[in-house]
Amino acid sequence: MSAETTSPSAPRPRPEADQSDPVYLHSRREARVIFGLWAACLAWTVTYCYLHGFAGHVEASDLETVWGVPSWVFWGIAVPWLLADAFTIWFCFCYMQDDDLGEAHEGRDVAEEVAAMHAHDRDAAEGRR
């Protein structure tokens, strides 16, 4: 593991918002919205299905269905599924930012490590001399 170079006690200035990478900022904002959608779907689906679908004994004559689907499945799962799809369409086409993801620096990581390795070898050789 690499050694951390800054001590915990050393206060560091918080980077200004305008220094921050816009892709990072947009992604973070979008992730929060997605998390909110997930939480809302969890809350509605599990709560509704538990309250209406965990009834136990059901006679065929008492069965409530919507288009052949048990009503707790229809309102607790099928409808929110379609609403989630509608939200996804809005999110993808109206909310999510088109960002420039930048050039791919192919091989940069390995090149940096090779350079560091050679520098280390050079230092070691000079040390021996």
**Cβ atoms < 10 Å from Cβ of 45:** 17
3-state secondary structure of 98: coil
Q: Is 126 in the site for another protein (CB under 8 A)?
A: no
Closer to another protein by Cβ: residue 19 or 126: 19
Q: Which of residues 98-117 bind another protein (CB under 8 A)?
A: 98-110, 113-114, 117
Residue closer to another protein, measured from CB, 110 or 129: 110
Which residues lie closer than 8 Å to 32 by C-beta, 6 or more apart?
none
Least Cβ distance, residue 43 to another protein (angstroms): 10
Q: Binding mask 25-44 vs another protein (x if CB under 8 A, - otherwise)?
A: -xxx-xx--xx-xx--xx--
- Minimum Å gap between C-beta 56 and another protein is 6
Contact 81, 90 (CB under 8 A): no
Rounded distance, CA 27 to CA 23, Å?
A: 6
Q: Which residues of 107-123 are buried (b: 16+ CB within 10 A; e: fewer)?
A: eeeeeeeeeeeeeeeee
Q: How many residues interact with another protein (rule CB under 8 A)?
A: 78
**Residue 97, interface with another protein (CB under 8 A)?**
yes
Q: Which of 85, 120, 121, 122 binds another protein (CB under 8 A)?
A: 85
Assess 12 for contact with another protein (CB under 8 A).
Answer: yes
Nearer to another protein, 125 or 129 (CB): 125
Q: Say how many C-beta atoms besides its own lie within 10 A of residue 26's C-beta.
A: 14
